[in-house]
Amino acid sequence: MASYKRPESVLVVLYDQHGRVLLLQREDDPTFWQSVTGSMENGELPIDTAYREVAEETGLDLVSLNIPIIDCGKTNEYVIRKAWIHRYPPGTTTNIEHVFRAQIDSAFILTLTEHLDFIWLDKPTAIRKAWSDTNKSAIATFIP
């Protein structure tokens, strides 16, 4: 039996002490730059997913580092990319995304597990480079 992704996820915009935004380059589509994202697992709360995904994608355990992830109080609904629709239960076309942010030190060493590269960009450049509209909006709205 196929194991499908839950059509509910998190977006965690990480920014540094200089106001620069961290973007990650996807392995499965190198033209796709994004903030930390990931699907929620069964029984998981959005904030728990946010901490888990940051740890999985960057190697940073923000709980141990005592760095809070802030719930932006925003959810988005978007149409799932055609290339990824097979990962979801049949008939699923949209995903609900919970938006978070966290300030980290850009001197931290990142360990990428699901991405090819990362880059720190000033806010306007990050908005232009981020692939998804919801990511662009989160950077524009929630990053100082």
Tell me the per-residue pLDDT of 60-71, one tens digit each, with 9 for 90 and over. 999 999 999 999
Tens digit of pLDDT for each residue in 33-42?
999 999 999 9
Contacting residues for 64 by C-beta, under 8 A, at least 6 apart: none
How do the domains of the chain map onto residue ranges? 8-142
Q: Which residue in 140, 115, 93 sits closest to 23, CA to CA?
A: 115
Give 13-34 pLDDT, tens digit per residue. 999 999 999 999 999 889 999 9
Question: For residue 11, is it left (φ>0), alpha (ψ between -120 and 50) or beta?
Answer: beta
Q: How far apart are the first and last CA of the chain?
A: 45
Question: What's the fold here for domain 8-142?
Answer: Nucleoside Triphosphate Pyrophosphohydrolase (3.90.79)
Q: Which three-class secondary structure state does DSSP give residue 125?
A: helix
